[in-house]
Amino acid sequence: MEKTRLVILTNSLTPNLPLAANGLLANECRRSPLASVACISNRGGGSPETCISVMLTLNMDRKRIAVVPGDGIGKEVIPAAIDVVRATGVPLDFSDFDWGADRYLRDGYTIRNEDFAMLEREFDAVFVGAMGDPRVKSNVHAKEILLGMRFQMDLYANVRPVKLLDASLCPLKDAAPERIDFTVIRENTEGVYMDMGGTFKRDTPDEVATQEDINTRKGVERVIRYAFDYARRHGRKRVLMADKSNVMSYAGGLWQRVFQLVAKEYADITPQHMYVDALCLQMVREPQSLEVIVTNNMFGDIITDLAAALQGGLGMAASGNIHPGKTSMFEPVHGSAPPLAGKNVANPMGAILSGAMMLEHLGFESEAKRMETAVVAAVKEKMLTPDVGGTKGTAEVVKFIAKSVS
């Protein structure tokens, strides 16, 4: 932790300017949750040269955040979310990177392999917007950036909180915020997303295509353990593992065996299991029964979209791609929505809540809570964009939330 110590000595014969400076500095420091102020007096027997020293010890452990706004509405909601993060007063430094469709179309590439190492080496977190642009039909740039970060930086736990902020946002009848409050932990670096497979006799009537579902003992165990640790940290009492082991017997068998072994180490948490299709039904019929869900990459990808619908849509959904103790990445889960870009109608809630997740991950729990509380207040006051039944613009929503936070 880097610290800077500033000492100002004021002589009693010429006190005005230095004392004023002391006061200004002290006031400024008191605004920071990471600053301490100590005042030391030494009268020295009443000598006219007596000095009063004001010592300001500033904690300069400023966190560095790499910002990748991406494409479409990402260029609006990520800066908007940063405005809210700044309003908390947390000491952060932001560095922008233009990795996205524009860069890809201009230079023929977006992010280089060495850039992943640079992110891990020089930044505490990465804040990423939506990726996708109709000018890049293959969407290869999005794959290079998002999957590249997940794989190259080994961000093995995708964390998706599912919390209903107001009953009006949920399509279920008799919905209430206390009934929908759970988290999905998705394995983030394995499965079918490793792009292993191939085709045989392509473009013929006899074509064969394979897509490999890769599950390693290391990968499965660490994400299951993360889920149990997450449950314990957040006061949850149940962890449910979802698979399709009745059909996918080899991969599912590995998940089953490891889940049962890890669960034995957490006597205070009840392990549960459901097949993923039955879980989808449960999410709609009895979401209040769920606390923490852990599952593989593909199933997690699917069920979190269903979960987002329960909380008001993808525009309300936040996520973190996490490796404990390492540089992690946070992003709203909605798409880039090119038709909405630049029209001041994009929903900033998912980005703001992702920013709150980032602050919590960095150790600023109280500031993260302030952001979440401000978002709830905005929902209650109907400070909402059109996608969730509101009439406000992006800028108006952000202004309200930032003011509530500051």
Contacts of 205 (CB under 8 A, 6+ apart): none
Task: Pull the structure tokens for residue 132.
Answer: 């996708």
Q: Is 275 a catalytic residue?
A: no
In our burial notation (b when 16+ CB lie closer than 10 A, e otherwise), range 178-187 reads ebbbbbbbbb
Check if 98 is active-site: no
Find the catalytic residue in 75, 163, 244, 392: 244
The DSSP letter of residue 312 is T
Instruction: Report the greatest alpha carbon distance in the chain.
Output: 102
Q: Reduced to 3 states, what is the DSSP secondary structure of residue 6?
A: strand
Ordered DSSP codes for 170-223: -SSTT--GGG-EEEEEEE-SSBGGG--EEEESTTSTT-EEEE--B--HHHHHHH
Q: What share of the chain is helix, strand, coil (3-state, %, to 5)?
A: 45, 20, 35
Decide if 277 is catalytic.
yes
Instruction: Give the total residue count for the chain.
Output: 406
Catalytic residue among 230, 301, 387, 392: 301
Catalytic, out of 61, 93, 195, 305: 305
Q: Which amino acid is at 10?
A: T
Shortest CA distance to 259 belongs to which of 303, 286, 227, 213? 227
DSSP-assigned letters across all residues of 220-272: HHHHHHHHHHHHHHTT--EEEEEE-TTTSHHHHHHHHHHHHHHHTT-TTSEEE
Contact 294, 227 (CB under 8 A): yes
Annotated active-site residue 305? The verdict is yes
Q: Is 154 exposed, middle or buried (0-12, 13-18, 19+ CB in 10 A)?
A: middle
Q: Which of 277, 343, 380, 382 is catalytic?
A: 277
Q: Are the beta carbons of 326 and 219 closer than 8 angstroms?
A: no
Active site residue 61: no
Of 104, 156, 193, 226, the catalytic one is 193
Which of the residues are catalytic? 193, 244, 277, 301, 305
